[in-house]
Amino acid sequence: MQVQDPVLAQALASDSEPTLPPHLSPDLFPRLAAGATLCGGEHESFAVETPFTRQAFGSVLMGTSADVDYAVERARRAQQSWAKLPVAERAATLLRFHDLLLERQAEGLDLIQLETGKARYHAFVEYYALVATARYYAYHGPKHLRSQFRTGFLPLLTQTEVHHQPKGVVGIIAPWNYPLLLVYTDAMPALLAGNAIVVKPAEQTPFSALWGAQLMYEAGLPPELLHIVPGYGADAGAALTEAVDYVHFTGSTEVGRTVGQQAAAGLKEFSLELGGKNPAIIRHDADLEKTVKGMQDTCFLIAGQTCVSTERIYVHESLFDEFVTRFAALTEAMLINARYDFSAHMGSLASQEQLDKVTAHVDDAVEKGATVVTGGQALPHIGPLFYAPTLLTGVRAGMDLFREETFGPVVAIYPFKTDDEALALANDSAYGLSASVWTRDLSTGRRLAECLECGMVGVNDGFFAAWGSIDAPMGGFKASGFGRRNGPEGLLKYTEPQNVATQLFAPMVPAALGFTQEAFAGVVDTAFRLIKHIPGLR
């Protein structure tokens, strides 16, 4: 791969003040930190570092369980009046938020890069996924929330209507890899449904969540409806799960199990978007040039730290050698740097923990016989947490990365002989989040896609088309999660369906209708036998 000297290189071994990107000023971070919801008392200060240089650029006070309870109490008081507003007024707030995102793009992209170490294009993908989500729910959310008439117990006599009531206070526990998108892509539908929100962002990336909250307030959202409480998962995260009426968690499968258990113990509903070990199937008739180009961001978006990134590629044996050669050449040509512009194909890993895990997975595979086609090493001359995009062959059972999610820029490539073999290999995983099929035969591609045990499949696309289809649900099978994001499903999960049945003439009891129990039973029996034959009443 190609490397360029990063803009921040002079700060790598320096104690000087970090060089901020052009659209951010040092006074922004204290102002954002002041927007966190905290009650009185002493709080630990947490320094937030940029992965590009590991220099601190700001700090936040870390909330505790007491702060979470305080935020939830304030949110609960505000929620009832918000729920009484017409849905159109709540949707208008989302549309103003959408417009502010477009106006503040440069500042938002700088902040995402600073906190996460992403390449700018990858920050752009996150940012505009949020813009699209805001537009979708502002325009289409109200129709999903409309009350609906359903078939009553006895047609013509029973009128049944279903309403969607808000849950109350929704808790969002957000990850570090998409610190803006994965807060507000869930907060927006929850708010539209009439709920209040309390967010615990990842401790490494609190400022994106705080920045988004400020835009929400500018868009007209009453501040008491949205609270950001920075904190650690074991304390603030656990307290949030206990205090709210519904919790959404995005993160690792291991932590997700704990969140689910805590929520279930309180008889609270929850949704979880968890990990993936996502496969791609490249059939014998795939357009190899387009497939290789499509794989670049499918595998290396934000250095592979995306739950939907491809970590396993199964290539038909007739194309295997050529695919590996072409994909290696494209991977080696990738530009890697720490610049706040669109020059890089990939940026940094987010933390020392991620770098250590990626390094351990690759080293373990190599020690056990895997071959590094390209990459396979850290890039400290670019920045302290950079790792080369890496392709491996010869990966097999017994190697850590064979089944475990790496969550880094590491891809294992395997040959296969038949479609059935490819499906079996792709489905041989505890995870089931995302997958792709690459073929010129679209009918076969869609058939294979339906056979894959995962919640989102792209045909001749990695995940961008499916992920970007916001009217459709996104989520995982098996250990990849529970519940869905996006579409009507991503909105209605934040509601309680309420069935209101009106009996038009008299209560549905024999005496009120002037029947004995035996006569009433006979009338119902006759009615049920007739209804079967009347299409409009079935």
CATH code at position 231 = 3.40.605.10
489 within a domain of the structure (yes/no)? no
Full residue range of the structural domain in which residue 530 is found: 510-537
Q: Report which of 133, 112, 130 is spatially closest to residue 121, judged by C-alpha positions.
A: 112
Residue environment code for 165-204, b if the CB has 16+ CB neighbours within 10 A, otherwise e: ebbbbbbbbbbbbbbbbbbbbbbbbbbbbbbbbbbbbbbb
Threshold 0.85, pTM exceeds: yes
Answer yes or no: do 297 and 377 share one domain.
yes
Phi first, then psi, for residue 170 (nearest 5°) are -100, 135
Strands 390-393 and 371-374, bridge-based pairing: antiparallel
Are 393 and 371 in contact, with CB atoms under 8 Å apart? yes
Beta bridge partners of 313: 280, 413
Q: Which residues of 232-309 form beta strands (DSSP E)?
A: 246-250, 269-273, 278-282
Number of domains comprising the chain: 3
Are 118 and 180 in contact, with CB atoms under 8 Å apart? no
Report which secondary-structure segment, H or E, holds 47.
strand 45-50
Residue 466: exposure state from Cβ atoms within 10 A (0-12, 13-18, ≥19)? buried
DSSP states of 83-105 as a string?
HHS-HHHHHHHHHHHHHHHHHTH
Q: Report which of 69, 2, 84 is spatially closest to residue 331, judged by C-alpha positions.
A: 2
Answer yes or no: do 174 and 218 share one domain.
yes
Are 194 and 79 in contact, with CB atoms under 8 Å apart? yes
Joined tokens for residue 115: 């906190």
Answer yes or no: do 201 and 110 share one domain.
yes
Answer yes or no: do 250 and 323 share one domain.
no
Q: Which residues of 420-530 form beta strands (DSSP E)?
A: 431-432, 434-438, 456-459, 477-478, 481-482, 495-503
Q: Which residue has the tokens 């009439």?
A: 194
Q: Is 120 helix (H, G, I), strand (E, B) or coil?
A: helix
What is the CATH number for 439?
3.40.309.10
Single-letter residue type at 470? I
Q: Report which of 412, 57, 433, 108 is spatially closest to residue 251, judged by C-alpha positions.
A: 433
Answer yes or no: do 216 and 287 share one domain.
no
Residue 235: exposure state from Cβ atoms within 10 A (0-12, 13-18, ≥19)? middle
134 within a domain of the structure (yes/no)? yes
C-alpha dihedral, 443 to 448 to 453 to 455, nearest 10°: -30
Are 439 and 456 in contact, with CB atoms under 8 Å apart? no
Answer yes or no: do 115 and 95 share one domain.
yes
Q: What is the pLDDT of residue 352?
A: 97
498 within a domain of the structure (yes/no)? no
CA distance 40 to 278: 45
398 within a domain of the structure (yes/no)? yes
Count of helix runs (H) and strand runs (E) in the chain? 18, 22
**115, 126, 273, 311: which is the annotated catalytic residue?**
273
Where does a domain end: 257, 274, 291? 274
253 within a domain of the structure (yes/no)? yes
486 within a domain of the structure (yes/no)? no
Q: What is the pLDDT of residue 527?
A: 84
Joined tokens for residue 450: 């339906």
Answer yes or no: do 347 and 442 share one domain.
yes
Phi first, then psi, for residue 59 (nearest 5°) are -145, 155
Joined tokens for residue 77: 């008081």
Strands 431-432 and 477-478, bridge-based pairing: antiparallel
Where does a domain end: 479, 499, 524? 479
SS (H, E, C) 342-359: CCCCECCCCCHHHHHHHH
> How far from 172 is each of 109, 191, 233, 259, 380, CA to CA, in Å?
22, 12, 12, 11, 35
Answer yes or no: do 232 and 305 share one domain.
no
69 within a domain of the structure (yes/no)? yes
Q: What is the pLDDT of residue 2?
A: 56
Q: What is the pLDDT of residue 8?
A: 45
Beta bridge partners of 238: none
Answer yes or no: do 222 and 290 share one domain.
no
Answer yes or no: do 89 and 181 share one domain.
yes
3-state helix vs strand vs coil in the chain, percent to 5: 45, 20, 35
CA-based diameter of the chain, in Å? 91
pLDDT tens by residue, the chain, 538 residues: 555 444 444 444 445 567 899 999 999 999 999 999 999 889 999 999 999 999 999 999 999 999 999 999 999 999 999 999 999 999 999 999 999 999 999 999 999 999 999 999 999 999 999 999 999 999 999 999 999 999 888 777 889 999 999 999 999 999 999 999 999 999 999 999 999 999 999 999 999 999 999 999 999 999 999 999 999 998 999 999 999 999 999 999 999 999 999 999 999 999 999 999 999 999 999 999 999 999 999 999 999 999 999 999 999 999 999 999 999 999 999 999 999 999 999 999 999 999 999 999 999 999 999 999 999 999 999 999 999 999 999 999 999 999 999 999 999 999 999 999 999 999 999 999 999 999 999 999 999 999 999 999 999 999 999 999 999 999 999 999 999 999 999 999 999 999 999 988 888 888 888 899 999 899 889 888 888 888 877 6
**49, 242, 299, 307: which is the annotated catalytic residue?**
307
> How far from 475 is each of 98, 272, 455, 479, CA to CA, in Å?
24, 8, 5, 11
CA distance 463 to 121: 16
CA distance 49 to 346: 19
Where does a domain end: 248, 274, 300? 274
Q: What is the pLDDT of residue 534?
A: 84
Answer yes or no: do 283 and 373 share one domain.
yes
Q: What is the pLDDT of residue 1?
A: 59
Q: Which residues of 246-388 form beta strands (DSSP E)?
A: 246-250, 269-273, 278-282, 310-316, 335-336, 371-374
Beta bridge partners of 500: 161
Phi first, then psi, for residue 132 (nearest 5°) are -65, -35
114 within a domain of the structure (yes/no)? yes
Residues 6+ apart with CB under 8 A from 141: 87, 91, 94, 189, 192, 491
273 in catalytic set = yes
Answer yes or no: do 400 and 440 share one domain.
yes
C-alpha dihedral, 496 to 179 to 174 to 137, nearest 10°: 10
